[in-house]
Amino acid sequence: MPKTIITMGHKKVPTSIPATSTAAAASSSSEIDISEQLRKFSKSNLSQVNMNQMVIDDILPEQVRIDWKVPRESCPIPIHKQIVVFCSFFEHGFGVPCCSFLCELLFFYGIELVNLNPNSILHITIFVHMCEAFLGILPHFNLFRHLFVLRLLSTKYHQVAIGGVGFQLRKKEAYINVPLKTGNKNWKDEWFYCDNPPLVLADFTGAKAIPLA
């Protein structure tokens, strides 16, 4: 993993605040926040029939390959080696195991997968394909940051976990014309579990999106 991603993805704790008290306060606040955010998850409206149809349509791999599971809980409670993901993410190019470039982006910005929206997944998918298939290079981190900016999609006083941030083009005229979907308002209700081999994505927490960069 490039050093820039490791070093630039963290913020320093001010020296005037004791690290121990800061960590304790952050932990307590985080637990309350996560509990509140998890309650905002709607019960998934997916069924086994829906999932099987996605397999038939070549959107989702067969269950034996990524061990996907239809949730029964009202909010996500993934077990070890599982991630929470949305149908629309697979429809927009997400796959398991995911590419290291996506993992590095999430790490750099201090967010997790559920914080993104489907159009952000599409932007990343197209960018990776453009680099590998047309430019003949690995996905270039600095080029991505030159083209895209991560923006909060919720207000300052109402930040959310699900789709709370999104990648947006800095200048549309400097990139490929990508038609983005705006009509799927129910994508947040179509979540499920799937395998996370080999634990490349960070564990699901349900915390709201507060980007570090």
Going by C-alpha positions, the residue among 18, 36, 16 that lies closest to residue 26 is 18
Most confident of 10-14, 107-111, 201-205: 107-111
* Average pLDDT of the residues in 6-33: 34
For residue 25, pLDDT beyond 90: no
Q: Token pair for residue 7? A: 């070093």
What does pLDDT average to over the chain?
A: 77
Most confident of 20-24, 32-36, 114-118, 202-206: 114-118
More confident residue, 25 or 202: 202
- What confidence tens digit (pLDDT) does each residue in 33-92 have? 445 556 667 889 999 999 999 999 999 999 999 999 999 888 888 887 889 999 999 999
* Average pLDDT of the residues in 137-156: 87
- What confidence tens digit (pLDDT) does each residue in 170-210 have? 988 888 888 887 767 789 999 999 988 775 787 777 665 65
- Strand ranges (DSSP E) for the chain? 82-86, 148-152, 165-169, 191-195
| Residue pair 207/159 in contact by the 8 Å Cβ criterion | no
3-7, 95-99, 198-202, 209-213: segment of lowest average pLDDT:
3-7
Q: Token pair for residue 106? A: 């999430």
* Average pLDDT of the residues in 117-138: 94
18-27, 113-122, 126-135: segment of lowest average pLDDT:
18-27
| Residue pair 87/99 in contact by the 8 Å Cβ criterion | no
